[in-house]
Structure 1
Amino acid sequence: MAIPPSLVLTAASVLNLISSAILGVLETRGIHMEYSKFFDASSTKIKVGSRVGMLLLYTPAFLVDFRFLLLKSAITIHFLKRIFEVSFIHKYSGEMTLDTMIIILFSYLFLSSSLIYTQNLNQELLEPWIDLKYPGIVLFLIGISGDFYHHFLLSKLRTKGSKDYKVPKRGLFELVICPHYLVEILGFLGISLISQTLYSFSTTLGTALYLMARSYAAKRWYISKFEDFPKEVNALIPCVF
């Protein structure tokens, strides 16, 4: 059974239809909107340049959907980068079990689709009082570029055909053993600021907690494999954890 439209949506639909019809009738009767070929240069009304005017006409409508567009773009770029890294950057030494692959596959699929679906539902709500999407863009770009850089450094540790592990150096590897997790968390925080929904922030928190545990396990693994592993190097956050 279909959900009946709300009273506000119905009223808006009727208003839109009536106003469009009225404007159409006025145009046929010679009462035009004053732009383009129908602009009256002798008019005493306040005027703006056509380019500026048209930009001002289109921009607000674009910005209404801008947050949704940004979120979809950020998610697309995030996973496109991962596909690129898997294809051309990473060097793998082992295999993956089928059950692990299935779990991660559906986790990522659910993550991306649920973030987009939730944002779509929130489009009908009022914009947040404090707009954080622009700081979110900055954080996302820092996160995704930092993640790529540190994955590139990891790929340089292993020559072609080699399966040996080495203690990573350079970049933030001098401070933490998993800087790629740290900047990935920053990237997800950027996505949360772009989205500004409770669901996106809970997703980032869950991701951060998982990557904290993963980085702690990674540090223990490095300590067990390398006797000269520097104990002062933290797992994820410099001088903290």
Structure 2
Amino acid sequence: MSLLTKFVFPPSLFVTATSLVSFSSLAIGGLSEIRGKHMQYSKFVGVNNNPVSESKKKLISSRTGMVLLYTPAFLAGLSSFAIFPDEGFRFFLLQSAITIHFLKRVLESAFVHKYSGEMALEATITILLSYFISSVIMLISQHLTMGFPEPPIDLKNPGILLFLIGIIGDFYHHILLSKLRSGKNAKEYKIPKGGLFDVVICPHYLFE
């Protein structure tokens, strides 16, 4: 029981507070989606129940919005190499994972994905902040573990392997999705095939 208590409630008040806030935010967001109040991007733009307020929303192109979503989190990961230059190999892995993941998402958003819709600026800012804040919290939380004993089971190598499998599989299935829209103005949704699409509904999310 004492081990479980240490795991659920880490010694840092910052980590405990941010973990609770993050969990609560995710729960609220999930309940909103279940109730039909969707984040306003792609096919969900304008589907909420108040057409008057929806018509007043500031819209931007999906490509611009998606690039904006990931850029601050990428910059947070990149700048952490200068802010925390010598924090050990475990911290380096976290910095690299955050930076590579969000750089990949920026490049995919700019050059791979095919878009047909728009994004509400309000939703863009909300998601942008969630990615950025989550990245910063992970980096600070790992920084606060400096000086603590290493975990009794070393999972760094399996973690690196899992990360590489995830990022490669995610990219591959994003390529397959981008090929569904052959024409520049093609907007219809199609059933994807190939890869793991015949086995899993959203294999790109599974790998991510």
Q: TM-score, normalised by structure 2?
A: 0.57
Counterpart of 1:181 in 2: which secondary structure? helix
Does structure 2 retain, via aligned residues, the 8 Å contact 1:168–1:177? no
Q: Is the 8 A contact 2:87 2:143 kept in 1?
A: no
Within-5 A mapping of 1:32-181: 65-159=88-182, 160-181=184-205
- With the length of structure 1 as denominator, give the TM-score of the two structures: 0.49
Highest CA radius of gyration, 1 or 2?
A: 1
Secondary structure of the equivalent of 2:128? helix
Considering Cα pairs closer than 8 Å and 6+ residues apart, tell me whether 1 or 2 has the greater RCO: 2
SS at match of 2:197: helix
Alignment partners' CA distance in 1, 2:190 and 2:201: 12
Q: Which runs of 5+ in 2 are unaligned?
A: 1-85
Shift of 1:121: 0.4
| Deviation (angstroms), 1:161 | 2.2
How far is the alpha carbon of 1:75 from its aligned partner? 0.5
1:64 deviation in Å?
A: 6.9
Q: How far 1:163 moved relative to its partner?
A: 1.0
Residue 79 of structure 1: how far off its partner (Å): 0.1
Cα distance in 1 for partners of 2:204, 2:97 equals 17
**1:133-160 Cα distance to aligned partner (Å, 9 max, x none):** 1100000000000000000000000022
- Provide the rounded CA distance (Å) in 1 between the counterparts of 2:191 and 2:145: 45
Name the amino acid aligned to 2:204: H
Number of aligned residue pairs: give it. Answer: 123
CA distance in 1, matches of 2:87, 2:205: 33
Deviations 1:60-111 (A, max 9, x none): xxx9700000110010000000001001100011001111101100000011
| Letter matched to residue 162 of structure 2 | L
Amino acid at match of 2:114: K
Aligned to 1:59: none
Mapped to 2, the partners of 1:98 and 1:87 lie a distance apart of 18
Q: AA paired with 2:137?
A: S
Does 1:182 find its partner at 2:175? no
RMSD of aligned residue pairs (Cα, Å): 1.6
Q: Deviations over 1:96-131 (max 9, x none)?
A: 111110110000001111111100001221111111
The one-letter code sitting in structure 2 at the alignment partner of 1:182 is L
The unaligned stretches of length 5 or more in structure 1 are 1-62, 185-241
